[in-house]
Amino acid sequence: MIGPLAKHYKARDVVLAEWVKRKHLKFYRLGKNHLDLNTAGEEVDPGLIFC
């Protein structure tokens, strides 16, 4: 379930961003098993997300 806000905007995926000072920004697509933090997200290319 992607949640009511994502449904309202007809979102296909939920994306999380990880930012560490002086490092590259990393994006993760939230998977179906979001309760298990080890398998919750897979790293994705920002070019594929924001095209």
Query: Residues 4-17: pLDDT tens digits?
Result: 777 787 777 778 88
Structure confidence at residue 49 (pLDDT): 75
Are the C-beta atoms of residues 43 and 28 closer than 8 Å to each other?
yes
Contacts by residues 30-36 (CB-CB < 8 Å, ≥ 24 positions apart): 30/2
Give pTM, 2 decimals.
0.57
Q: What is the pLDDT of residue 34?
A: 56
Q: Which residues of the chain have pLDDT under 50?
A: none
Give φ, ψ of 12 to 5 degrees. Answer: -85, -35
pLDDT of residue 18: 87
- Evaluate whether 16 touches 6 at the Cβ level (below 8 Å): no
